[in-house]
Amino acid sequence: MNTPIPRIRPIHPVRCGIVPPHVLDQLARSEDPVLAGPARRTLERDAAQRTRRQITAVRGLAAPSVPRQAGPAAAPQRTVYDARHKETLPGKRVRTEGGKPVRDASVNRAYTGLGATFELFLSAFARDSIDGAGLPLDATVHYGEEYGNAFWDGERMVFGDGDGEVFRDFTLALDVIGHELTHGVTQYTANLEYLGQSGALNESVSDVFGSLIKQHEQGQSAEQADWLVGAELFTDRVQGDALRSLKAPGTAYDDDVLGKDPQPATMEDYVHTSSDNGGVHINSGIPNHAFYTLATDLGGNAWERAGQIWYDTLTSEELAADAGFADFAAATLSAARARFGAGDEEAAVLRSWSAVGVTPAEATRAARAPAAGSRTAEETPAVEGS
């Protein structure tokens, strides 16, 4: 009898930043140099980081670690570094696992956020770190001068201090830390391509689990949660509540300088664009709202049923790397049925996708090798996410 060989997907390193490019572009066009200067420099740094990640990608792709069932001894291994406003990573090591809090609040917040992310994945989903095999969690604070972003570069979290005019210190938002680290989870599981609908799903999954990490840490039910991403980031100068809203996509901000939040909540307003890798930061509002609808429909703690369905979907290996919304919706139905049976959860999943105008595909596509003529990992540029 031939033993099936486990499928191992290559990892495509993606540099993922929490602030969408369209926000930074808008700021960079401001006539106020106090706003435009930091935004332009942030965009330049982001472009340089994308280039470095592309070089890493073409030199070779690492195979993912083999996930294991988390044992009772599973614990985070955190290290926080200080870039001291330079752009060399990782910087000076300033706090390690088990070390006492330091005077720098940014360091302590980063350390706590790494721990909260580890704890949610461990306690709710029995996942040992973001790779499922105990990967150490590293973070660097005080990156660059007035750097207005935070990102996951495939290896670590990196936080800017913001410009103080539009953005505050990026370590302030726990869901931002969770969002970025979840890009790592996706990297090691479904590895959704960062383009079009699969890219929007990649972004949405990070928003979903970032929100769950915040809710889990604060002991909030689905009804109690604000469902905002990055609510702590804007200064008082900005007319807005957060970077994104899962509850009401398109309402997170409406500002004279930033413009209006462009996210749609349903397929009726799907944005067709060639920019932003096919609108990955914009159209992610649709699956975001589907998850919010499911979580509030089921009630209770969102990570227990709605989150479990999304996690099972992400780790099921049923999804193709280029899965669209309909494929993901079908996979969530399968996941709900497999875990909870044909009942309330499956019906609620179907209602949630119907509410945003997505009809689940008849069958999910199994992950497959790139089709003839498609771009390989070496040919596909590493891109920025949020």
Q: What is the pLDDT of residues 187-214, one digit of tens each?
A: 999 999 999 999 999 999 999 999 999 9
Query: At 180, is the pLDDT very low, low, confident or very high (cuts 50, 70, 90)?
Result: very high
Greater confidence, 16 or 160?
Answer: 160
Q: Which of 293, 329, 325 is nearest to 310 (CA)?
A: 329
**Parts of the chain belonging to CATH 1.10.390.10:** 196-374
Average pLDDT over residues 119-148: 96
Query: At 275, is the pLDDT very low, low, confident or very high (cuts 50, 70, 90)?
Result: confident
> Pairing relation of β-strands 254-255 and 228-229?
unpaired
285 vs 132: CA distance, rounded Å: 27
202 vs 186: CA distance, rounded Å: 7
CATH fit for domain 196-374, picks 2.60.40.10, 3.40.50.720, 1.10.390.10, 1.10.357.10: 1.10.390.10
CATH number of 15-188: 3.10.170.10
380 vs 79: CA distance, rounded Å: 31
Residue 160 has pLDDT above 60, yes or no: yes
Name the catalytic one among 142, 183, 281, 289: 281
Average pLDDT over residues 221-241: 97
The region of weakest confidence among 53-57, 236-240, 349-353, 354-358 is 53-57
Query: At 364, is the pLDDT very low, low, confident or very high (cuts 50, 70, 90)?
Result: very low
Q: Which CA distances in Å does 338 have to 10, 123, 201, 317, 347?
A: 27, 20, 22, 14, 13
What does pLDDT average to over the chain? 87
Q: Which of 273, 361, 264, 263 is nearest to 320 (CA)?
A: 361
Name the catalytic one among 165, 180, 217, 318: 180
Known catalytic membership, residue 281: yes
pLDDT tens for each residue of 25-73: 899 988 889 988 988 988 888 766 544 433 333 333 444 455 556 666 7
Q: What percent of the chain has pLDDT over 90?
A: 73
Known catalytic membership, residue 216: no
pLDDT score recorded for residue 277:
87
pLDDT score recorded for residue 272:
95
Query: At 82, is the pLDDT very low, low, confident or very high (cuts 50, 70, 90)?
Result: very high
pLDDT score recorded for residue 77:
97
Average pLDDT over residues 166-181: 97
**Parts of the chain belonging to CATH 3.10.170.10:** 15-188
Residue 270 has pLDDT above 60, yes or no: yes
